[in-house]
Amino acid sequence: MHLSISNILYLTEHSRDLRSLVKALKTVGYSSKAVREVMGMNGVAHELLTNTAYVALAYYDDYCASTSPIAILGLMFVCGSWIETGIYERSIPALVRDLLERCGLIAEPSSGFRKSLIALQEFRSRWFFADPMIERTPDDLRVVQDFAEHIDPPNYSSVSLALNTLKPRDGDRTFLDIGCGSGVQSILASELYEHVVGVDISERAVALSRLNASVNEANVSYVRDDCMHFDADRLVDRLVFNCPSVPRYRNGLDKIDTYTSTMGHDLFFDFANHRLMGLMAPGGLAELWSIFAVTRRAGSMKRLLTERLTTHRLLDIDVVAEVDSPFGLSRDEIARGAVPRGSYLLASPDDTNSLISFLRKQDVECIVPALLRLTVKSEPQGKISCQNVERLIDGPEALKHERRPGF
């Protein structure tokens, strides 16, 4: 059960109630940092967003869940937990409950329990409504990304992109967010750039982005279009693309923002080869987060880019591989058939054999998640630099440690 697009559009027209809800949540003290502290998590607050399933699995304290409004709200909005009606009514302030119910954000999945129909997460003092990633009933924990246009809340790739990219250069005025999802990049950028536009092929993504922009009072324009055909009304100084890129390793993987091509990275190359240069101003900077399947024939990330990126001579390219990312897979791990527990490459924990079989059939040597910074040059003299890629391919010490478990 999830909010329909018509519900999202209605809420956008009446976003004053949602702004009142956010104000009430702030009064209670709800934030990602507060939830992390109440749950006794280590690390920085945004880890609550980047490993949600692990949080739901590991940080469920019955005492906290029955006594702390912040913990209960975190369990509902982040972990998709069912909350006993008595605890919900006793612990959540009446104003917050009234606004949640008035906006149609609370469902009663079975007698005696309440649950949220949305994910609501705070990131960098902005508030993002999206579809829940998981659901925790009293007896089970399951992934609920069960329809093609499911829009994730701020998660690993979107948070990673935002933490690495939102630093304007001198003279940058225009910002384009390709594949805007729930609007994270564009809404955060709205205070830093004069003209901000978000684009997504998904009607649901555009609707949620507009809702979130309204709630956060952000001046952003959103357009529903295919990234391969969108024409900007002006060339842009800064472009970001959280590029959907997980390899489609078995039939039936059709989530719109994840399984876009057989090898995953094909969309990155199609966009970079055929659309990127037509959108960028001279000297413009594009930052694309993607996942690359490096085959034995390609041999290296640099060679893969040189062979597949036809525009590479017009770009300075800086590749920063994320060594300890849950989207990465080293040469050694593929050889051993050892996908780390909690890997985000898997649609289901039971898919390890399917993924390994696919990678071996395609002769994939490693999976490299990376942020690529592409700077448009005025003359054909581009260069490629790579950071951390060989460490990931060879299986660095960070990957030999037991990875943080997940669902």
* pTM (two decimals): 0.88
87-104 as b/e: b if 16+ CB within 10 A: ebeebbeeebbebbeebe
Domain membership flag for residue 148: no
Does residue 135 share a domain with residue 35?
yes
Verify that 246 and 181 share a domain, yes or no: yes
Same domain, 98 and 216: no
Q: Is residue 150 part of a domain?
A: no
Q: Which of 84, 112, 143 is the last residue of a domain?
A: 143
Per-residue pLDDT of the chain (407 residues; tens, 9 = 90+): 678 899 999 999 989 999 999 999 999 999 988 888 887 777 666 666 666 656 666 666 666 667 789 988 988 998 888 989 998 999 899 999 999 999 999 987 677 899 999 999 898 899 999 998 888 888 887 777 767 788 888 887 888 888 877 788 888 999 999 999 999 999 999 999 999 999 999 999 999 999 999 999 999 999 999 999 998 888 999 999 998 788 888 887 766 667 677 888 899 999 999 999 999 999 999 999 999 999 999 888 889 998 999 888 888 889 988 887 888 999 999 999 989 887 888 888 888 999 999 999 999 999 999 999 999 886 666 677 777 777 666 664 444 444 443 33
pLDDT for the residue 405: 37
Same-domain check for residues 94 and 168: no
Q: Which domain holds residue 222?
A: 156-400
Contact (Cβ atoms closer than 8 angstroms) between residue 321 and residue 392 = yes
Q: How many domains does the chain have?
A: 2
Q: Long-range contacts of range 159-163, CB-CB < 8 Å, 24 or more positions apart?
A: 159/46, 159/49, 159/50, 159/123, 159/184, 160/50, 160/289, 160/322, 160/325, 160/371, 161/185, 161/240, 161/242, 161/287, 161/289, 161/371, 162/123, 162/124, 162/188, 163/46
The CATH number of the domain holding residue 290 is: 3.40.50.150
Question: Do 186 and 107 fall within a single domain?
Answer: no
Given 143, 165, 182, which residue is the final one in a domain?
Answer: 143
Judged by DSSP in three states, 317 sits in: strand
